Structure 1
Amino acid sequence: MTDGEERTLADEIIARARRHAREVVDGSDLAVDLESLEWTVSPRARRRAGRCRWRADREMATIVLARRAYERYDWSTFAGVVRHELVHAWEFQRFGESDHGDRFRERAAALEAPRYCEPFTEPRYVLRCLAVDCDWRATRHRASKPVRSPEQYRCGSCGDAYAVEHTDSGRTWKTASGYGGTKAALGDEW
């Protein structure tokens, strides 16, 4: 930063994440090459608090952190996100791939990093099974195919049909035409 430049929230997030990453790497046996690690902040992310992308051609990992998660989580929760993504970076750097399998779980547990992050935004849509004896539900942040055309999909538990609810309005639909009608009726409130 030069004199007169203001530090942005993204700058703050990256600075804190980098400091925490150095502490984690220095205090553990997680051999992440921090020099081959890039950091960025997503102002739009709603579902994922963090993500680690791998560019094999450059042998470079990029950790993307969600601004909204930083704003909503306390620091200890957000630091857990950073540790989670560091485990992905370590796997990418060492093995060229990463997932949430046994190797990941073992390393994440050693670092007290969560396997999955808790939601930090409310979903726009809730899918609910229509069967009386089934309490399956799923949430979505985007109008994915199961949201737009629920008649083409089934409950993830019992296989029955489900309805979709637009959480802000409470309106529901069971078909693609119901989705279109709800979207048209809500207009700017969609």
Structure 2
Amino acid sequence: MSSDPLPLDTDFYAVDRKTSVPEFLAVSKVYAREVVANYDLTVSVSDLEWEVSKRAKRRAGAVKHRDDEPETVSLTWEYFQEHGWAATASVIRHELIHVHLLNEADDPSHGDRFEAWADELQTTVTCERFADPNWWVVCESCGSEMPRYRKSKLVKNPDQYRCGGCGGSLSARDARPDADGD
């Protein structure tokens, strides 16, 4: 890890929610280059594809990789719209850690190395839920609830599965307002 990196001023790079997708991506890449330079990360921002996801509901960002080679950084538009630039800058730092650890150790996980870098780059290991789920899968025994965004096999047939925590029976309920019961 780097010694005494310069503090990063996310406000300098800030874009507002009315920005276009191309401008958002351009600023994201410039900010990423600054992070890489300040923290000596083994990341070539220019060699990565950068994209916006308008479909993602459970993640604020992602690194797509093949054979442990990082290829694309994807940032979630809804997360940016909901939480703004400062939170998205944190996501960029998070994703850069993934790229760095893939390059250095073929490690895409959120393990100990990731946690150390997250502390260094002042970012989180996980993100908070920012979209309401369409369904909830609920354990009838312990009451644990699992959000679901797609009508998966688990949502369609909860009786074929068991709770991972206690082994209890599961049920699914529609969380969408005015759902027509499909």
1:164 match: 172
Match of 2:49 among 38, 42, 46: 38
Query: Structure 1 vs Structure 2: percent identity of aligned residues?
Result: 37
The CA deviation at 1:47 is: 1.6
The aligned runs of 1:121-160 (5 Å cut-off) are 121-131=131-141, 134-160=142-168
Deviation at 1:140, TM superposition (A): 0.8
Provide the residue aligned with 2:65 in structure 1.
54
1:27 counterpart SS class: helix
Separation in 1 of the partners of 2:77 and 2:172? 28
Against the structure 1 CA distance between its residues 56 and 162, is the aligned structure 2 distance closer, same or farther, given a 3 Å change threshold? Answer: closer
Unaligned stretches of 5+ residues in structure 1: 1-6, 172-180, 184-190
Contact 2:57 2:130 in 1 (8 A): yes
Q: Is this contact kept in 1: 2:42–2:103, CA < 8 A?
A: no
- CA shift, 1:27, in A, is 1.7
Q: SS at 1:74's partner residue? A: helix
Q: Which amino acid in structure 2 is aligned with residue 182 of structure 1?
A: G
Determine if contact 1:50/1:64 at 8 Å carries over to the other structure: yes
3-state secondary structure, aligned to 1:182: coil
* Whole-angstrom distance in 1 between the partners of 2:32 and 2:58: 22
TM-score (normalizing by structure 1): 0.78
| TM superposition shift of 1:93 | 2.1
Aligned positions, number: 165
What is the CA distance between 1:121 and its match in structure 2? Answer: 0.7
Per-residue deviation, 1:28: 1.4
Stretch of structure 1 that moved more, 96-105 or 143-152: 96-105
1:76-155 aligned within 5 A: 76-131=86-141, 134-155=142-163
